[in-house]
Amino acid sequence: MKNVESVHKKLIVSCQALPHEPLHSSYIMGRMAAAAKEGGAAGIRANTKEDIAEIKKNVDLPVIGIVKRDYPDSQVFITPTMKEIEELVEAETDIIALDATCRTRPDGQSLDEFYREIRETYPEQLLMADCATLEEALHADELGFDFIGTTLVGYTQESRELKIENNDFELIRKLLKEAKHKVIAEGNINTPEKVRRVMDLGVYSVVVGSAITRPQLITRTFVEALEA
C-alpha cells in the first residue's frame, strides 16, 4: 500500500474506459496512468482489478479503486457489493471508493449495513464515499469513511438539478465546514481554473477524469464549439 498522504493538495487523475468506449483496455489504462504521472499527477483513480494491476505495473502512485458493475435490482453500480470489495482488496487497492448515496444496494442492503460489513471484514482498508448530495456526504462522514467525495453530484435523481460549481461551489464549502474527514472534490471539475478554485477552498485533493483521459468527450467539446 502506498502512502496516500502524497495526494494531499495534489491532482488525482481518473483513468477509466468502459467496455463500449474506444480506449477500453487495461494496457491502455496503464499507459494513460503513466502519461498522467509524467504530467504531474500524484494519484490515479481506476476501475476493475485488471486495470489496477496494469496501472500498478506502470506507476508507483496511490490508487483509488472502484469496480463498476450493474445489478438488476439496484441503481448502485460503483462497488455495489462485497464481491467488488474483495476484488479491489485482492488488487491491493490503496483506497476503495464506493457509492455512498441513499439508494438501496443489491439485495436490499443499506449503505450502513454495507459499511459495517466492510469494516468488520477489512478493518484497515481506507474507504472513500462517492456522494451526490450534502446530506449523503455528511451521513458518510458520520459513518466514518476516511474520504468524502463529491463524485456523484448531478448524476443521481436526488441530485440531478445540482451542479458542483453552482454558487461558487456551495456544496463543497458547506461540506468542508461540517465534515470531520478528508474531502476530495470530484465530478464536473473540467478546467484548471476549477481545480485551483476547489483546492483554494480547502479540499484534501481533487480528481479529474474525462477532461484529461476521455478523448472522445474532449473532442466533442471542440466540435460543439464549431457547430455553435
Query: E strands along the chain, which residues?
Result: 11-15, 43-47, 63-66, 95-99, 126-130, 147-149, 182-186, 205-208
- Give the CA angle between residues 211, 177, 117 to the nearest 5°: 75
Q: What percent of the chain has pLDDT above 90?
A: 91
Closest by alpha carbon to 130, among 108, 110, 111?
A: 111
pLDDT at position 209? 97
- Which of the pair, 79 or 3, is modelled with greater confidence? 79
pLDDT at position 154? 85
Average pLDDT, the chain: 95
Diameter over CA atoms, the chain = 54
pLDDT tens digits, 62-96: 999 999 999 999 999 999 999 999 999 999 999 99
pLDDT at position 155? 85
Q: Residues 139-166: what's their mean pLDDT?
A: 86
pLDDT at position 228? 85
pLDDT at position 156? 87
Asked whether the predicted pLDDT for residue 164 surpasses 80, the reply is no
Asked whether the predicted pLDDT for residue 162 surpasses 70, the reply is no
Asked whether the predicted pLDDT for residue 165 surpasses 80, the reply is no
SS (H, E, C) 13-70: EEECCCCCCCCCCHHHHHHHHHHHHHCCCCEEEEECHHHHHHHHHHCCCCEEEECECC
pLDDT tens digits, 32-47: 999 999 999 999 999 9
- Give the Cα separation of 117 and 67 in Å (integer): 17
- Give the Cα separation of 192 and 15 in Å (integer): 17
pLDDT at position 69? 97
Asked whether the predicted pLDDT for residue 166 surpasses 90, the reply is no
Q: Residues 56-65: what's their mean pLDDT?
A: 98
Cα distances (Å, whole numbers) of residue 10 to 116, 194, 206: 30, 13, 7
- Give the Cα separation of 146 and 10 in Å (integer): 17
Give residue 157's pLDDT band: very low, low, confident or very high (50, 70, 90): confident
Domains of the chain, start order: 4-227 (3.20.20.70)
Extract the C-alpha cell encoding 61.
502512485
Asked whether the predicted pLDDT for residue 158 surpasses 90, the reply is no
